[in-house]
Amino acid sequence: MITIVDYGMGNLRSVTNALKTLGAPARISSKPQEVASAERLILPGVGAFGSAMQELESRGLLEPVRSHAASGRPFLGICLGLQLLFEWSEEGGRVKGLGLLKGTVRRFADAPERKVPHMGWNQVKRTSAPPSALVNGLADGSFFYFVHSYYAEPQDRAIVQLETDYGVAFPAMIESGSIAATQFHPEKSQTAGLALLKRFAS
């Protein structure tokens, strides 16, 4: 059973529908005990970093999310759910994150040749990191769907599985132990995204 964390800022319906398409049992929960004890956990997210941290705290979900991530059970962050894993974000000043991974979340620099947010389809490329089971069989140069103005800058580059370029190279997917996360939306990325979710579910 996959538990999808409901903290009032997630793309819950699209993630749930994607898992339903795959025949993967899933539930949406905002209950701390269910989040902490989940067999597999997805932390989705849309919106501002600071607001997300406030919502997680006010609902008593900060420690359950941290507890699950530290347990060795499968964990998947999506979009803002990736950024929240890090220590700090520049969004709204200097906002503290979950601190599960070392690094900072930074804003794309404004430039005449590109718009912020980074929105739409973009290619990913593999890095030299040992390949994750989640990207097993993924063709280099596959396209995924992105919507974000900020990107993660991990202290340890070895956790970066997939990379994308948008004026700066940034992590499209990271993995550290049982923790994996994507900056793109796999639930909106058609065949390649559904294949990744299917591997997470199994």
User: What residues are annotated to the active site?
Assistant: 79, 185, 187
d(CA 8, CA 59): 10
| Residue 14 amino acid letter | S
CB 117 within 8 A of CB 147: yes
Give the chain's length. Answer: 202
d(CA 113, CA 106): 19
d(CA 115, CA 129): 30
CB 85 within 8 A of CB 143: no
Q: Which of 42, 8, 9 is nearest to 25 (CA)?
A: 42
SS3 108: coil
* DSSP secondary structure code for residue 141 in this structure: T
Q: Measure the N-to-C terminal CA separation of the chain; round to a whole number of Å.
A: 10
CA 169 from centre of chain: 17
